[in-house]
Amino acid sequence: MTMMTDASHVAQHEAARHATATGGEFLTFRLGAEEYGIDILKVQEIRSYEAPTRIAN
């Protein structure tokens, strides 16, 4: 396994352990090589990707 894979598995395990202990659910996502999680109750909106709009100058 790679270092990132190991770190990702540890993060997922910790999030699952915390969710089980607190009864909560988490939204997980990746930005580049990093993986993040946030309490689902703090999420206000989930939007899909949209291509950026070009603006003159």
- pLDDT tens by residue, 13-39: 776 776 666 668 989 888 999 999 899
Residue 15 lies in a domain: yes
Residue 45 lies in a domain: no
Q: What angle do CA 47, 53, 56 make, to 5 degrees?
A: 155
The token pair at 10 is 């540890």
Residue 50 lies in a domain: no
Residue 57 lies in a domain: no
Q: 32 — alpha (psi -120 to 50), left (phi > 0) or beta?
A: left
Provide φ and ψ at 47, rounded to 5°.
-120, 145
Q: Which residues contact 33 (CB under 8 A, 6 or more apart)?
A: 4
Residue 24 lies in a domain: yes
Q: What is the pLDDT of residue 45?
A: 93
Q: What is the pLDDT of residue 5?
A: 64
Residue 51 lies in a domain: no
Residue 7 lies in a domain: yes
Query: Has residue 1 got a pLDDT over 50?
Result: no
Q: How many domains does the chain contain in total?
A: 1
